[in-house]
Amino acid sequence: MADKRADSGSDSDSTEEPVVGNVNKFAVVPPNYSGKPKKGHLIFDACFESGNLGRVDYITETEYDLFIRPDTCNPRFRVWFNFTVENVKADQRVIFNIVNFSKTKSLYRDGMTPMIKSTSRPKWVRIPGKYVYYYRCPDHRKNYVMSFAFIFDREDEVYQFAYCYPYSYTRLQNYLDNLEKRNYDFFTRELLCLTVQQRRLDLLTIASPDLQASDNEKLKTVLITARVHPGETPSSFVCQGVIDFLVSSHPIAKILREHLVFKIVPMLNPDGVYLGNYRCSLMGFDLNRHWQEPSPWAHPTLYATKNLLMELDRNQQHDMDFYIDLHAHSTLMNGFMYGNIYDDMDRYEKQSVFPRLLCGNAEDFSLTNTNFNRDAVKAGTGRRTLGSCLDESHCYTLEVSFFSYQTNTTGQSMPYTEEGYMKLGRNLARTFLDYYKLMGYISAKPSSSIVPKPSGQPPNRRDRGAIDRALSEPFGRSQGDSNCNNRLDRRDERNGRKSSDFASNNPSNSYSDMPSSLRLQRDGRRL
């Protein structure tokens, strides 16, 4: 039951390749070869959780065409890949061509490269950009192809390649199990519903028990969701960063727990994540187009989450202030937000405050890419639907690049790491303190920068200036980001740079030090 709604003009509907399921320990041997595969006859596998590789064609002994398996019940989406290669020879040189992407626009044009790890080197790193090419290929009806050259440097290793850092359903479950074992009195985990394939849809509540027991005032409530699109793995790292911060002993986290109720649904599409889909559920639905009227049998996770939201909105004890849906973006850099356009000008202006405060806390956040819209194509998204259902709430989509961000201080492009994504999540969480201080809901306590103010300085002078600018300056101008030069955590950012350079600077990752003698060739032509 495929979702027929259009999503992007950059998608291709071509389904010429008969790709149905994942390859399973598939040995690729030369034509007319018979017998047991020899060492160097590569064995491909994607029959594991979140795996995706649908077909492998032998071109030459050094070149292979790889086909992404489309999302289940929906052939339109072919982006995410995640597979292993084994039975290699030491110093074996190959060229892999991924030939059936459904999107023509891609961050591969801007330097993004696939991820790689191996048995003895389990940390994911990026393949160096000089070995990766993205181009229109005449051999594949001028479709866009991503080719990369690679050397298998060690025998008896299993090498794994992926579109971006994987974050599986099982990883989430293990993470939540460990959180539960800590027995925090401010943390609860509930089963919101089961998916079509009977996987958990988890709901986390983080708030002080004294706050939840209080009957004196309405509880300011924030709902955060992630992974409605299963291939957008960076959103899970951002979400984990939010959770890690909120349950920590950090003084800001303690203040937030004492004043706010955080409801978090960390994985809205567990079946799609488990299956290795890029955008759709088990039944082929792009769930982020079905928030308006979710079906309890076809979209059970949306149905349960929307019912939860509506119940909280009707509850006299709760004041639904924020809904933030976490995503990853395949063509733009940095983190940024999408918001709604409202007829109520006061509400429209107030929603610009939070992104500007986040920009002040996160060096990787871009106001230039942040915008508010009423795009008809997005009518069924969580942001648009809930923005119209929740009259007083600020509803956003937070996007983060699959690849990198550019800082305003240096202008340098920095590839995201797992830690970089989680840092954005921590900065998102701490920005709530700045926001509620500006709104007068939280009294002047430590700011999100944790920098003590000089004695005698009014505690909220900087804060009032921030809200004034937020209400007066438009989005979408390149100079808008200049207001966010006073960034936080510069030292952490420098540490992040060291981590992102791991592939090129660490000699133990010899599979990243490929000699320049290996060139991409097909029929004698340089690609």
Q: Which residues are catalytic?
A: 399
3-state secondary structure of 259: helix
Q: Where does residue 173 rank: exposed (0-12), middle (13-18), buried (19+ CB within 10 A)?
A: middle
Residue 71, φ and ψ in degrees, nearest 5 = -55, 145
| Cα distance between residue 206 and residue 263, in whole Å | 7
Return the closest-CA partner of residue 302 out of 265, 268, 262: 268
Neighbours of 8 (CB within 10 A): 13
Burial code (b: 16+ CB inside 10 Å, e: under 16) for 40-61 equals ebbbbbbeeebbbbbbbeeeee
Question: What tokens were used for 32?
Answer: 């007319």
Question: What tokens were used for 159?
Answer: 């090498």
Residue 401, beta-bridge partner list? 329
Unique residue bearing structure tokens 């639905």 = 285
Question: What tokens were used for 478?
Answer: 């390149």
- Residues 80 and 277 sit within 8 Å (Cβ to Cβ): yes
| Cα end-to-end distance, the chain, whole Å | 39
Q: Which residues contact 122 (CB under 8 A, 6 or more apart)?
A: none
Return the closest-CA partner of residue 227 out of 178, 181, 164, 152: 164
Neighbours of 2 (CB within 10 A): 17
| Cα distance between residue 313 and residue 343, in whole Å | 21
Total length of the chain = 527
- To which H or E segment does residue 451 belong? none
Q: Which residues contact 61 (CB under 8 A, 6 or more apart)?
A: 30
- To which H or E segment does residue 341 belong? none
| Cα distance between residue 441 and residue 392, in whole Å | 16
Sheet holding 63-67, edge to edge: 55-60, 63-67, 92-98, 143-152, 132-137
Residue 113, φ and ψ in degrees, nearest 5 = -135, 160
Q: What SS3 string covers 74-96?
A: ECCCCCCCEEEEECCCCCEEEEE
For the chain, how big is the Rg over CA atoms in Å?
A: 24
| Cα distance between residue 464 and residue 484, in whole Å | 15
**Where do runs of H (alpha helix) occur along 362-489?**
382-389, 418-438, 461-472
Q: Which residues contact 386 (CB under 8 A, 6 or more apart)?
A: 291, 306, 309, 323, 393, 395
